[in-house]
Structure 1
């Protein structure tokens, strides 16, 4: 696929990429290399200028606005550098939010949330507000939210970028464990330690093409 914005140089220039189920792909590259554009196209937040994007059998580039939102709810989990949690909701309510948007029965959603909070070691914080948690704990809440609807694909955009060294190591171990348990993962990062720790394959983008 190719993606052009207003400038003459494309953000992605004929990128041909396949990610297998169960793989953990790390995407490295300098600022402006096309990493965030790639995530936006996979998430259905943008469309390619040319080419196709297919995820889990869905032609993402053909989806309208409502179908694209449904696709993200059902098939994509997203983790961000700055967590993007809602500070006026408890940890539990933040984690439940994707299930509520998907209209999952409340009892089913509560059981799934409890399972995730236990798996991620943050059940004791269920009624706590995010502002009272450490950065590493908040990122674990964000991971639980991303996994709530059992997405086939987890996208992570600089997931350790806002964390101290100890919390970053904690998140690296967590993502490694998730992939070991079968979660397909695509992560964009400048953190070489993260790529080395949890990626089964690494590519480097430079000027919108795979350089390595």
Structure 2
């Protein structure tokens, strides 16, 4: 099966001649995989995620996602590709406080130009699946951390992305709520969603990913299968 993500010889330096944030990384991720990326602070985890999302461009090497070389796209084209094909979840939710839950979730669909009726149907489906339909007209500030992360997950999924990127998605949550979000991510992967999860939590990686990539000093130190039953 063809890879959904392919990084070949990817290096990223933020300063000319400086220490690379990621260094000659080769990585293949198949459709339907759930991959956890781990490593100490400064090891290159977030940079790797940003390269896959097209938020950063490699200094050298190639980045291909869903058959598209994204490192060669213009800024406009890569932004369009990201909206259509990639969903992103962040540690601190990144919701817009002046928009309701519904409007936060619908925003990527609006930016992509999806028909309103289709987007609303998808909104209803996601709010029900994530058990936050009662908060449809609420504003993020009135929600708990776990509820806000559910809204962020709905927003990431509204365009049915080929790839879901999650950067410390449980880092701002208490242990019990983090476990609930982890279970949601596991259910998504079981339904076929390809996912890359950056985490400091080895328990989360072991339970909710089928594979763990360990980064040290910007390089892949290990790439191993884990015990998650997906």
TM range (shorter): over 0.9
The reply to whether residue 2 of structure 1 matches residue 42 of structure 2 is no
4+ residue runs over 2 A deviation: none
TM-score scaled by length of structure 1:
0.98
Q: In structure 2, list runs of 5 or more residues that go unmatched.
A: 1-9, 223-230
Q: In structure 1, list runs of 5 or more residues that go unmatched.
A: none
Which residue is equivalent to 1:188?
198
TM-score scaled by length of structure 2:
0.91
CA distance in 2, matches of 1:191, 1:4: 27
Which residue is equivalent to 1:170?
180
Give the alignment's Cα RMSD to 1 decimal: 0.8
* Matched positions, count: 212
Q: Identify which of structures 1 and 2 has the higher relative contact order when contacts are C-alpha pairs closer than 8 Å and 6+ apart.
A: 1
CA distance in 1, matches of 2:93, 2:23: 30
TM-superposed CA distance for 1:8, in Å, is 2.6
Instruction: Name the structure with the higher strand share.
Output: 2
Matching residue within 144, 157, 180 for 1:147: 157
Deviations 1:115-144 (A, max 9, x none): 011111111111111111111110000000
Deviations 1:33-76 (A, max 9, x none): 01111011101111111110000001010010110110110010
Matching residue within 2, 16, 30 for 1:20: 30
